[in-house]
Amino acid sequence: MYEYFNSLAYPYVGVTVNVDITALLAFIRAKKLPFFLTICYCVSRAANQVSEFKQRILNNQIVEYDYCLTSHTVALSDGTYCYCDLDSNLSFDDYISYAAKEQEKAKQQNSINEEEDDILGKIFISTIPWISYTALINPTPVPADSNPRITWGKYFMQNNKVLLPISVLCHHALIDGLHISKFYEFLDKEIITIIR
């Protein structure tokens, strides 16, 4: 299966799931926490618990990282953006203060340049906070890379629950539906861990 999916022009598999964040949103509001960084922490921790999300294709070989950083865009005042890398291998409280500082540093550096060696060990994070959606197609490079992409949109109310559309796009030579479902299971657990 690896050879087959790796040979495709578009070797990705993706899914969008509406994740219940009712209790998490109440917690965020009560503690006055940054919404984006809270979600980023949860998805990063969940992804790092699935071995396949830490695997990459390098020189047609599979390599696995011990822990992957996230890389996300930070909006700048002139309408452009820069990249910010974060390490979620911290307690939640430590992460929030660290991540806020890292975002400010990234704004000062104002760069979208990344070293090729550094890119492989990252999970790409993005958000579209202006809309709720049921599907998402991410731009991908040619040749295909093997970094997972996790994106979320605008949360919405349904049946007295607050739901957040969270999309995952992964290289299908490494990750299939079982691994993606594990990610969402771990995400639910990370959310519960934070609010306790």
pLDDT at site 78:
87
Q: What pLDDT shows up at residue 1?
A: 72
State both tokens at 99: 């991540």
Give me the CATH code for the 14-170+180-195 domain, please: 3.30.559.10
pLDDT at residue 115, rounded to an integer: 62
Q: Can you tell me the distance from the alpha carbon of 39 to that of 61, in angstroms, rounded to the nearest whole number?
A: 32
C-alpha–C-alpha distance, residues 53 and 64, integer Å: 9
What was the pLDDT predicted at 6? 85
Q: Where are the domains of the chain?
A: 14-170+180-195
Q: Tell me the average confidence (pLDDT) per consecutive run of 10 residues in the chain, 196 residues long.
A: 86 97 98 98 98 96 97 89 94 97 90 73 96 92 94 98 98 96 98 95
